């Protein structure tokens, strides 16, 4: 199942039993009659809420947005937790320090990407893996034979506060405990509005930002939401559905699991070879990755004449050489952008090709490296504070 969030999806909806998936504990804080829900990691979330998403996008880039996101933390604990994670993840876990997060992949035995997410070390032999879409908890249980580990659901819901004002908001929300000294991908427990919560300096927008993880029934979710909104109001903080986030994550070169990459694509093909540690003795999928062509199949595409949509075709001469996995209008660049997955490796960057939309319309397009701008990632690291 893929999670498309294009404009046409806001109208292409069906009724579904609400008991099948987890509702957000923050729902009463932002629900409207116009909300369109998506399902991700077994959880409902707002893909659209009737807002002007272009205005929300610029609020994200210039001030800050709060997102109620469905990414799901899974807890891995026990005496063999490190050894187990070394087996199931492509990155080395044994050298992780408490309070540190790593972007990490999990592969199938054939080397395909099964899951991506962020692994945090909360304590000795205690980790959280904040997963993307897919049945990762079940997959972990299936691979845990022979390991003294416990795989559990901490029932944590995640809020993201993203944008250049996020550092000021989180500083005030934590009475100064969270500040510029908290580095990118660092994490820890902080008191937020009188509640002790896990906070990481991460996000899904490639803007400066933070994620706040609740503690299940121990958290007063409405009180937390009200505290953050009150603290953030002077800085222009607003709630948004994930539409603005989707645009910004594609601009920033962040891939979506099951949408832009899946089990039929290995990490090298997705351009994620840097997150595969072949120096490890063993991990699921390692043998299948040995000796593969390490060139990517996934690149960026820009188009001044149209916005690419999923399943649009990329044509070189008379041949279809790739297809679009996801596309959005880029307000910053003033053109349509998207991800193109090519059918074979080649020197694609810099090429001028043809984008054929599902309607049959054809437009000239260019193939580019990712991300589309801020290639040194100065914005997300807080090194570039210029407001666009």
Question: Nearest Cα to 136, choosing from 259, 41, 18?
Answer: 41
CA distance 301 to 369: 8
Q: Residue 138 belongs to what H/E stretch?
A: helix 136-142
Round to whole Å and give the CA distance between 344 and 333. Answer: 28
Q: Indicate the SS3 state at residue 29.
A: helix
* Distance from C-alpha of 228 to C-alpha of 166, rounded to nearest angstrom: 11
**Assessment of whether the complete model's pTM goes beyond 0.85:** yes
CB count in 10 Å sphere of residue 79: 12
**Separation of alpha carbons 379 and 117, rounded Å:** 21
CATH code matching the domain that covers 7-69+156-250, chosen among 3.30.1360.120, 3.30.460.10, 1.10.10.10, 3.40.190.10: 3.30.1360.120
Mean confidence (pLDDT) of the chain: 95
Of 9 and 131, more confident: 131
Query: Helix, strand or coil for residue 216?
Result: helix
- Output the pLDDT for position 44: 93
Tell me which residue of 273, 323, 292 sits closest to 90, measured CA to CA: 273
Domain ranges of the chain: 7-69+156-250, 295-388
Q: What was the pLDDT predicted at 304?
A: 98
Instruction: Locate 176 and state its tokens.
Output: 């100064």
Contact 301, 314 (CB under 8 A): yes
Say if residue 280's pLDDT is above 90: yes
What is residue 3's predicted lDDT score, i.e. its pLDDT?
A: 64
Average pLDDT over residues 285-299: 97
| pLDDT, tens only, 178-236 | 999 999 999 999 999 999 999 999 999 999 999 999 999 999 999 999 999 999 999 99
Q: Which of 383, 55, 104 is nearest to 247 (CA)?
A: 55
295-388 has the same fold as 7-69+156-250 = no
Q: What proportion of the chain, given as a percentage, has pLDDT over 70?
A: 96
CA-based nearest residue to 351, from 339, 368, 335: 368
Peptide bond into 371 cis (omega under 30): yes
Give residues with Cβ within 8 angstroms of 106, minimum separation 6: 88, 89, 90, 113, 114, 115, 116, 136, 139, 284
CB-based contact 195:223 (threshold 8 Å): yes
% of the chain exceeding 90 in pLDDT:
94
Given this structure, which CATH class describes domain 295-388?
Answer: mainly beta
Instruction: Please give the structure tokens belonging to residue 276.
Output: 């595969």
Give residues with Cβ within 8 angstroms of 36, minimum separation 6. Answer: 9, 10, 13, 46, 47, 48, 49, 241
The tokens describing 169, both together, are 């908001």
Q: What is the model's pLDDT at position 5?
A: 66
Q: Are 166 and 59 in contact (CB under 8 A)?
A: no
Q: Report whether 337 contacts 303 (CB < 8 A).
A: yes
The whole-angstrom separation of Cα 218 and Cα 202 is 23
Of the candidates 52, 49, 13, 17, the one whose C-alpha atom is nearest the C-alpha of residue 30 is: 49
> How many of the other CB atoms lie within 10 Å of CB of 216?
12
Which alpha helices (H) appear in 71-147, and where do they start and end? 81-88, 136-142
How confident is the model at residue 12, as a pLDDT?
A: 73
């Amino acid at each position: 199942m893929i999670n498309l969030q294009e404009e046409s999806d806001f109208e292409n909806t069906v009724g579904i039993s609400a008991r099948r998936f987890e509702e957000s504990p923050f729902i009463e804080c932002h629900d409207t009659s116009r909300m369109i829900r998506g399902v991700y990691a077994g959880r409902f979330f707002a893909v659209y809420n009737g807002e002007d998403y272009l205005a929300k996008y610029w609020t994200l880039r210039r001030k800050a947005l709060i997102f109620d996101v469905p990414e799901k933390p899974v807890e891995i604990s026990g005496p063999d937790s490190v050894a187990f994670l070394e087996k199931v993840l492509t990155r080395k876990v044994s050298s992780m320090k408490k309070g540190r997060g790593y972007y990490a992949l999990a592969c199938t035995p054939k080397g395909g990407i099964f899951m991506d997410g962020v692994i945090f070390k909360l304590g000795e032999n205690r980790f959280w893996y904040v997963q993307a879409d897919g049945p990762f908890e079940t997959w972990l249980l299936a691979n845990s034979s022979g390991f003294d580990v416990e795989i559990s659901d901490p029932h944590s819901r995640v809020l993201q506060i993203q944008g250049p004002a996020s550092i000021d908001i989180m500083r005030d929300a934590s009475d100064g405990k969270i500040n510029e000294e908290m580095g990118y991908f660092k994490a820890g427990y902080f008191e937020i509005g009188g509640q002790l919560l896990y906070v990481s300096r991460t996000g899904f927008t490639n803007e400066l930002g933070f994620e706040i993880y609740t503690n299940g029934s121990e958290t007063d979710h409405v009180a937390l939401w009200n505290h953050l909104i009150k603290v953030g109001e002077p800085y222009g903080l607003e709630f948004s559905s994930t539409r603005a986030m989707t645009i910004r994550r594609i601009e920033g070169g962040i891939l979506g699991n099951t949408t832009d990459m899946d089990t039929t694509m290995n990490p090298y093909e997705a351009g994620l070879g840097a997150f595969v540690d072949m120096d490890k003795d063993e991990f699921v999928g390692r043998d299948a990755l040995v000796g593969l062509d390490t060139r990517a199949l996934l690149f960026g595409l820009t188009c001044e004449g149209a916005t690419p949509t999923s399943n649009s075709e990329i044509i070189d001469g008379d041949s279809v050489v790739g297809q679009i996995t996801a596309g959005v209008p880029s307000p910053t660049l003033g053109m349509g952008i998207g991800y193109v997955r090519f059918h074979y490796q080649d020197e694609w960057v810099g090429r001028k090709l043809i984008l054929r939309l599902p309607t049959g319309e054809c437009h000239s397009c260019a193939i580019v490296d990712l991300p589309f701008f801020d290639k040194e990632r100065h914005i997300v690291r807080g090194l570039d504070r210029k407001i666009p």
